[in-house]
Chains A and B, each alone.
Chain A
Amino acid sequence: NAGVTQTPKFRILKIGQSMTLQCTQDMNHNYMYWYRQDPGMGLKLIYYSVGAGITDKGEVPNGYNVSRSTTEDFPLRLELAAPSQTSVYFCASSTNDRDNEQFFGPGTRLTVL
């Protein structure tokens, strides 16, 4: 199993540009999550999904959108990039149960200039 994979690893955007961060997991996990991590800080939940076709807002959803058309994929969309969205983005997945370990991807480092 590859686990949780994320692409791209790095990206630089100009203000106002849009992009999609890709996340795929091959563990057949129903739960998937997107976090952002600012320098020297913990992770903040952006969006999460408890299954295909279901998404919910986390702590910091503004400026982002997600979709979950398949169990495996959970892309994160930035429509109008802003400098405040400069961060490292982590995708994670977990099994069906509520209190289970989350498996994290390697992260995408995004800079908005």
Chain B
Amino acid sequence: GESVGLHLPTLSVQEGDNSIINCAYSNSASDYFIWYKQESGKGPQFIIDIRSNMDKRQGQRVTVLLNKTVKHLSLQIAATQPGDSAVYFCADLYGNKLVFGAGTILRVKS
């Protein structure tokens, strides 16, 4: 079935280091992926997206990598800051519906 899941539930990084958050998806027909950030008590906030005809996309301090061969998605955050502490979700667009993974907690240590 269509499902999106994350390998690591919690990631702790030192401030200034790079963070890598991973995500596996199961629907090989998926053609659009999004990363969301959710801070405590708030709704998810869009970070970056990527279409299946790309394998890399860069934003401001963030990069998303897509490996369709192994159905794997990753979010890289450069120079991680305390404000990056949040839960990060990958989501896969299946038809008109976004399917969310369980999320990864990112904790930034100062």
Contact = CB atoms under 8 A, between A and B. Distances in A.
Contacts, number: 57
B93 A58 contact: no
A107 B49 contact: no
Interface stretch (A14-22, A64-72, A79-87, A96-104): A96-104
A42 B34 contact: no
B43 A48 contact: no
Contact of B100 (A4, A43, A99, A106): A43
A39 to B, nearest CB: 11
Given A99-B51, A101-B34, A101-B49, A45 B43 contact: no
Interface residues of B, number: 22
Interface residues of A, number: 26
B89 A48 contact: no
B101 A42 contact: yes
Interface of B: 4, 31-32, 34, 41-46, 49, 51, 89, 93, 96-103
Given A42-B100, A102-B34, A107-B41, 20 more contacts: A4-B43, A33-B98, A40-B102, A41-B102, A42-B89, A43-B98, A44-B100, A48-B96, A56-B96, A59-B99, A90-B44, A92-B43, A98-B32, A99-B32, A101-B46, A101-B49, A102-B98, A103-B46, A107-B42, A107-B43
Interface of A: 4, 31, 33, 35, 40-45, 48, 50, 56, 58-59, 90, 92, 98-99, 101-107
